[in-house]
Amino acid sequence: MRNRSRDSERLKNNRIMDQFSLEDKIAIVTGAGQGIGKAIALTFAKAGADLVIVDIDAVSANSTTQEIHDMGRDALALSVNACNKDQVDGMVRKTLKRFKRIDISVHNAGGGYPTKPILEMLEEDWDKSVTLNLKSAFLCCKSVGKIMAKQKRGSIVNMSSMAGFGPYPLGANYAAAKAGVKNLTENLAVELGPYNVRVNALAPGPVETPTIAEYYKEHPEMKEQRLRAIPLKRIAVPEDIANVALFLASDASGYVSGQTILINGALATFVTPELIAELGKRF
């Protein structure tokens, strides 16, 4: 009787874990050559997905693709500028030609770092950040969304940021673009909901990617400043973000749509006394 009860519990647990499986799903991940995008792609492959690895840098796209092949999953590497409509549409066409459908699309291409206060910001600084972070998400969502609407199924995951939820000193262009991604996500969730397509976003706080890790080596005081402000007392690694992406991509989040999930270790704000002091010396 006891063994039967254990077997029943084991089956129940297996069914719960099956909801996180991406077995034989087809997933596009942009910006997947390194950092967060690469971690998401590798996590999806471990969960059973076949991947389209998209990056503007062909070498890094091919490197991630090889790692996925080594794991026994299929992957297609594409060099794409996600800010270019024709290239994004080509990405979708090549995905359909190879895999026949698109189940998941993660729009991670983007980036930007605090550099200037608004009064010193150039018009090109603004345009570059909005294009890289918001326009790229719009183009990918539009091209992929049309396919998913026809399929009557799919999950889109955009990349917003904690910076889109409040002040991001010296990076208003990036913050405004990421706030735009959050709103784009909410609108698309409503417009695509009737077609059984879910749209959500991730909003990381500080993440120690390999690039940021090198920066912290040169500026250890910046890392200490971050750690003092994060209640969990550690800075996120790319896998922390990838695990939440897996949840949003999988059936485990089947009734979640229109949400932007903060992944920030309970960090309250990017505004620090040190930054306020620096801003006070600008003019």
Strands 197-204 and 50-55, bridge-based pairing: unpaired
CB atoms within 10 A of CB 21: 15
Q: Is the separation of the CB atoms in 32 and 8 below 8 Å?
A: no
Judge whether 159 and 244 are in contact, CB under 8 Å: no
Say which amino acid occupies 169: P
Q: For the chain, what percentages of helix, strand and coil (3-state, to nearest 5) are there?
A: 55, 15, 30
Whether 174 sits among the annotated catalytic residues: the reply is yes
137 residue type, one letter = A
Q: How many helices (H) and strands (E) does the chain have?
A: 11, 7
d(CA 37, CA 269): 24
Q: In what order do the strands lie in the sheet with 26-30?
A: 75-79, 50-55, 26-30, 104-107, 154-159, 197-204, 260-263
Type of residue numbered 264: N
Instruction: Answer for the pair 258, 190: CB distance below 8 angstroms, yes or no.
Output: yes
Cα–Cα dist 107/92, whole Å:
13
Residue of 64, 92, 90, 88 lying closest to 77 (CA atoms): 64
Which residue is catalytic, options 113, 174, 216, 255?
174
User: Which residues are marked as active site?
Assistant: 174
